[in-house]
Amino acid sequence: MSDPSLGRGWVFESAGQSVGYLVVSLSYSLEYGGRDVFVDELFLIPEYRGRGFGSAALSAAENFCRDVGVRALHLEVETDKTGAQALYRRWGFANHRRFLMTKLL
């Protein structure tokens, strides 16, 4: 990410080995009253899931957001990823009864 105004990325390690990464993109939202961030990618190698790395990733994202004055943090999760959904709910994310629609250009 050569332009920090667009977002940030983190790599998570355990015992010197990369075990996952997080990428967030910055935006602006009238609805949320200012800057917002979308978790674009959060990936952990399967054997490292459930070991606190997801929480560490979300903590890094939240700290970054607070540091740069972000008003809302968004993410999407696949409907069959119940473990990830549980993690996100524990961190205060809520389903707003909307669904993401995308048009690729």
Distance CA 83, CA 49 (A): 9
Q: Decide if 9 contacts 22 (C-beta within 8 A).
A: yes
**38-88 per-position pLDDT tens digit:** 999 999 999 999 999 999 999 999 999 999 999 999 999 999 999 999 999
Tell me the pTM. 0.87
CATH of domain 7-90: 3.40.630.30
Domain ranges of the chain: 7-90
Give the number of other Cβ atoms within 10 Å of residue 14's Cβ.
Answer: 14
Cross-strand bridge partners of residue 35 = 28
